[in-house]
Amino acid sequence: MSAPPRTRPAPRPRRLTARLRLTLSYTLFAVITGTLCLAVVYIGMRYIPNYPLTSSNPRDRLSAPSRQEILRSLLTISGYALALLTAVGTIGGWFIAGRVLRPLQDITSAAHRAASGALEHRIALAGPRDEFTDLSDAFDEMLERLQRSFDAQQRFAANASHELRTPLAITRTMLQVAAADPARQDWTTLVTRLQDTNQRGIEISEALLQLADLGHTAPELEPLDLARTTRDALAAVQEEAAALGVTVTTDCRPAPATGNPVLLRQAAVNLLQNALRHNLPTGGSVTVTTGADPDHPGRVRLAVTNTGPRLASETVPTLTEPFLRGRGRTAQSDPARRGHGLGLAIVVAITDAHHGDLGLTPAPGGGLHATLSLPAR
């Protein structure tokens, strides 16, 4: 079913610009204020005594103007003053409005550039903090998040295409070799390898679908004990731990929380599989604990620590990126330790859906310390 055509908004009627409206507002305010001041003066002048003022010396014939003459002169001067005030208010208001709205023009220009795909541009509005700088900072933060999201989406699409293409390419190569010389083929081995390769493609597809569903669907939550969920996950990876020769030590104390038991079990399984597969070749160990979070009161946590190679501090934050494995983009040569590079990415999505936090830090002696923290029930 095709998507409905995108409709453009109806064109808006052209009206006065914000700058012109502000200018007219400044001018009107100045004129009204000047008129009120002159009205007060005019009303006060009406209380001047209405009799001719003469000089105290009878020989002087000079006389002062009368009240009527003063009022008439006042009205004339007031008219000129109001006209000058209107002109000054209009011109000054136009420049003041332009100066005030200049940051808004920068924000509008940045919005147009972002709409055209230029997400790397930043406004970086200077000056003291006000409404415009707050809007500019919020817009820059939005652009930064959009750019990170867009870059991550591009990397995810490229990596997903590569991961899905690899099993298909391997399958095609094996079939081409078998078709070129069918008489010399070990069909049992070929079928087994084809099944393994096909299963790998299915697992990658299912992991991608799960990761996509977590980003769009809110999980159903219920009261649970994170310790019990962790014990179920430990039972699921028990055979893999024995096959890899990794010793698992547990200390599962009660950790009441609210969440989806299926998703949290998957998160625990992914953390345990990551700890098992990225471990020492021999003599490796994994420590699993649950209980109250000592660093954050009111929360519970699941902590998984494994032995393994030393990890650089700047490398650890990138481990949650899809298809990024402990050794980078390259999969392990050992099938038992091979992953899809989606385990920690799915854990992050599950953690975010439960309003929790996932912490990853290098273990002092090598390996990784992973902590999944959730609000306590």
Q: Which domain holds residue 249?
A: 222-375
Same-domain status, 287 and 343? yes
According to the model, what pLDDT value does residue 43 have?
A: 76
Residue 257: give its domain's CATH number: 3.30.565.10
The reported pLDDT for the residue numbered 3 is: 45
C-alpha distances (whole Å) from 328 to each of 51, 278, 318 are: 103, 12, 10
Residues 159 and 272 in one domain: no
Residue count (the chain): 377
Identify the pLDDT of residue 10: 56
Q: What is the pLDDT of residue 234?
A: 93
Please check whether residue 273 is in contact with residue 310, taking contact to mean a CB–CB distance below 8 angstroms. no
User: How far is 261 from 226, CA to CA, in rounded Å?
Assistant: 8
Does residue 353 share a domain with residue 230? yes
Residue 369 and residue 307 in one domain: yes
Instruction: Indicate the pTM of the whole model.
Output: 0.55
pLDDT at 199 (0 to 100): 77
3-class SS letters over 223-260: EEEHHHHHHHHHHHCHHHHHHHCCEEEEEECCCEEEEC
Domain boundary among 177, 198, 214: 214
Nearest partner of 308 among 358, 369, 233, 248, judged by Cα: 369
Q: Evaluate whether 177 touches 150 at the Cβ level (below 8 Å).
A: no
| Same structural domain, 40 and 174 | no
**Whether 356 and 263 share a structural domain:** yes
Q: Domain check: are 313 and 182 in the same one?
A: no
Domain contains 4? no
**CB–CB of 374/350 below 8 Å?**
no
pLDDT, position 208: 66
Residue 147 lies in a domain: no
Gap between the Cα atoms of 287 and 368, Å rounded: 11
Regarding whether 356 and 312 lie in a shared domain, the answer is yes
Q: Is residue 343 domain-resident?
A: yes
φ, ψ (nearest 5 deg) of residue 69: -65, -40
For residue 350, the model assigns a pLDDT of 86
Beta-bridge mates of residue 285: 247
Last residue of a domain, one of 197, 214, 231: 214
Same domain, 368 and 227: yes
Low-confidence ranges of the chain (pLDDT < 50): 1-4, 327-333
Number of folded domains that form the chain: 3
CA angle 288, 289, 295 (to 5 degrees): 130
Q: Count Cβ atoms below 10 Å from residue 349 Cβ, excluding itself.
A: 21
Please state the φ and ψ torsions of residue 216, each to the nearest 5 degrees: -125, -20
User: Do the domain assignments include residue 306?
Assistant: yes
Both tokens of residue 37?
Answer: 């001041």
CA-CA distance, 238 to 282, in Å (whole number)?
A: 17
Identify which of 163, 363, 358 has the alpha carbon closest to the alpha carbon of residue 271. 358
| Cross-strand partners of 35 | none
**Residue 360 is assigned to a structural domain of this protein:** yes
Same domain membership, residue 367 and residue 226: yes
